[in-house]
Amino acid sequence: MKYPILLPNIFNYPFTYESEMELSVGEFVEVPFGKSKLAGVVWTEFENKTNKNFKIKKIIKKLDIPKLKKSTLDFLNWFAEYNIVPKGMALKLVLLSGKPVQKFESKFYKNFNEKIQQKQFELTFEQNNAFKKINNLNKKFNVHVLQGTTGSGKTIVYFEALKRVIEKDQQVLIMLPEIGLTNQFEKKFLDFFGFKPAIWHSAITKKKKEHIWSGILDNQIKVVLGARSSLFLPFKNLGLIIVDEEHDQSYKQDEGVIYNARDMAIARASFENIPINLITSVPSVETYKNIKKGKYSISKLNKRYQNASLPNYEIINLNNVKLKKQCWLTNEIIAKVELHLKKKDQVLFFLNRRGFSPNVLCKKCFNTFSCPHCSINLVFHKKNNNLLCHYCGFKTSLIRNCQKDGNCELIFSGPGVERISEEVKKIFPLKKIEIFSSDTMNKKDSKDRLEKIINNEIDILVGTQLISKGFHFPSLNCIVVIDIDLSSQGHDLRGAEKNLQLYHQLSGRAGRTGQPSTVYFQTYNTNTKIISDITNQNPDIFLDKELKIRKQNNLPPFQRFISLILTGERENKLEKEAFKFKLYAENKIIGKILGPVSAPIYRIKKKYRLRLLIRGPKTLKLQNSLAQVISKYKFPSGIKLSVDVDPISFN
């Protein structure tokens, strides 16, 4: 018999092999390919339209691995079509290093099944109503949004819902936007359920991943707590998907195979015919539109847990004060922070910039330190005493020959969290201070650091947006936003939405245990409307306005955007090719092509970047027409095309 076998590679179609064995769709087999042997999957029906005569090779053997469900294969076929990626690359996302994993003995899964003493949790009246609504819907595919004020106990509500799913011997996937959240979340899960979930993200060891992958396919592991890639795990009996912090931009995978994990999770739930819950304090504009249309159901938690009050807000007008040279904190802020520290409150200084300084220049020759491979400034990281490119990872020292004479005399322009931390240490020398950013909290000792913060052993935190993402710090009652103007700049289509979500999340870190709390905003902008918009207890007011603007201007979610990024080392060749491709594609796709234009960051990793933007209807016909064009157009060597369906960033 002939079988279509899909290989985990850049092919958009399966290859025909033959075998005397009887095989069914989804089974893993080993096949000869060129001079090597590869593992592949018996794929769904495939029509081979080639007229060529070719010798059909034989399947070597069937692998002793449970097969993939047809619903998983259907999802992967759709995923490839939607995101315009080869089917083989979609399959590769399911496998580990392109290979399936053989079964392990059951002893390897006992860590995920061992029970310990559980804590008892009681739902409030409001939480119980939300739980009942979710539970009544948890039968077949539907999208339910659980929207709640930060600190309202959303996690406990959906824990109750997934407890019912686990009792039916079904599997659950809980998706989180950041690796850093898994430690604190795992503890919360253990307290509630009395057993450990399987943790899945890029930092998990290969051996552990093999155990988890096999345990999921064999239905030995019931709960997975994971980042984006957990969406592609080969669940045997998936019953519910939870997407926590559904609005978070980190769900967008922007390298390799590009996709939005939240949107793909909704699609996977649809193919599996199971419910999916989106959890948020401020929904994304896309989710909010679907709520308004009645496509998604919603339940809301308006009260914080134990009726803790939301923080107060105060604006510090920087126009009325003269800051000392190389200082970013006003005397007024320092006095207010001192009062909080006397009350044993934990304090957070927030600035969404890593490192010490984002700009370094010489005061003699006026040259800035920029990356030789990317069109972006190098950031000075004082802790490591080097300059770092946050795009390609290039590092260099500060010592440089000046174009005038001798070495450059350096000026550090603008602050990063290290610089604010240095200033705070001078003002409060006896206090324990910790920087909270991806540079410090994705390290091996981050679990210990987190424990110290939770136990109020750290007096002052200096943090980037990572700190806004769902952490629970019981003693944090004072937040100082160093300069809100920095995050209000730029021409990002989603800039206002991102700010709304960021500052709602950030302010939600304060006052979670009922103590009075305050968020202070330092600003030069006398128009306080931005701050009142993003701190309004009812984010729906802002989201309604934002939807109206997007509709008037035919912007997502009312139209589909597809971003095409062309990269190459030769600037002129790239420009000519971009115009040539546009002319070729213009009348062949169901949409309008804008550009080409230089990307805002024009050069990354020694390669120039041009962008084309396709605007069109929200239908797969747009992707299909573009896929046809791409498959027939031959780009010259040295030029690469990346396709980003539903882009959220335009760098």
Of 157-161, 328-332, 441-445, the range with the lowest mean pLDDT is 441-445
* H runs (alpha helix) in 279-393: 285-292, 331-342
CA 29, CA 42: separation in Å to the nearest integer?
7
Q: Please give the pLDDT value at position 443.
A: 62
Structural domain includes residue 393: no
Structural domain includes residue 402: no
| Domains held by the chain: number | 4
Q: Has residue 489 got a pLDDT over 70?
A: no
Q: Has residue 444 got a pLDDT over 70?
A: no
Domain boundary among 500, 525, 547: 547
Q: pLDDT band for 573, please (50, 70, 90 cuts).
A: very high
Query: In terms of domains, do 246 and 294 share one?
Result: yes
Query: In terms of domains, do 320 and 344 share one?
Result: yes
Give the start-end residues of each E strand in 180-265: 198-200, 223-226, 238-243, 252-253, 259-260
Q: Please give the pLDDT value at position 348.
A: 93
Query: In terms of domains, do 125 and 88 share one?
Result: no
CA 412, CA 417: separation in Å to the nearest integer?
13
The pTM for the full model equals 0.91
In this prediction, residues 147-154 reach a mean pLDDT of 86
Q: pLDDT band for 293, please (50, 70, 90 cuts).
A: very high
In this prediction, residues 287-312 reach a mean pLDDT of 87
Structural domain includes residue 342: yes
Angle, CA 248 vertex, CA 187 and CA 208 arms, to 5° = 45
Domain boundary among 70, 94, 118: 94
Rounded to 5, what percent of the chain is helix, strand, coil?
35, 25, 40
CA 377, CA 240: separation in Å to the nearest integer?
45
Structural domain includes residue 555: no
Structural domain includes residue 461: yes
Query: In terms of domains, do 536 and 569 share one?
Result: no
Query: In terms of domains, do 332 and 245 share one?
Result: no
Q: pLDDT band for 143, please (50, 70, 90 cuts).
A: very high
In this prediction, residues 72-87 reach a mean pLDDT of 96
Structural domain includes residue 290: yes
Phi and psi at residue 130, to the nearest 5° = -65, -40
Query: In terms of domains, do 122 and 204 share one?
Result: yes
Closest CA to 562 of 507, 622, 636, 485: 622
Domain boundary among 518, 547, 576: 547
Query: In terms of domains, do 299 and 439 share one?
Result: no
CATH number at residue 13: 3.40.1440.60
In this prediction, residues 408-416 reach a mean pLDDT of 87
Query: In terms of domains, do 623 and 506 share one?
Result: no
Query: In terms of domains, do 183 and 290 share one?
Result: yes
Query: In terms of domains, do 580 and 461 share one?
Result: no
**Residue range of the domain that includes 86:** 2-94
Structural domain includes residue 378: no
Query: In terms of domains, do 144 and 244 share one?
Result: yes
Structural domain includes residue 382: no
Query: In terms of domains, do 532 and 568 share one?
Result: no
Q: Has residue 612 got a pLDDT over 80?
A: yes
The model's pLDDT over 45-69, given as tens digits with 9 standing for 90+, comes to 665 555 566 788 999 999 999 999 9
CATH number at residue 224: 3.40.50.300
CA 232, CA 67: separation in Å to the nearest integer?
15
Q: Has residue 210 got a pLDDT over 70?
A: yes
Of 43-52, 107-116, 330-339, the range with the lowest mean pLDDT is 43-52
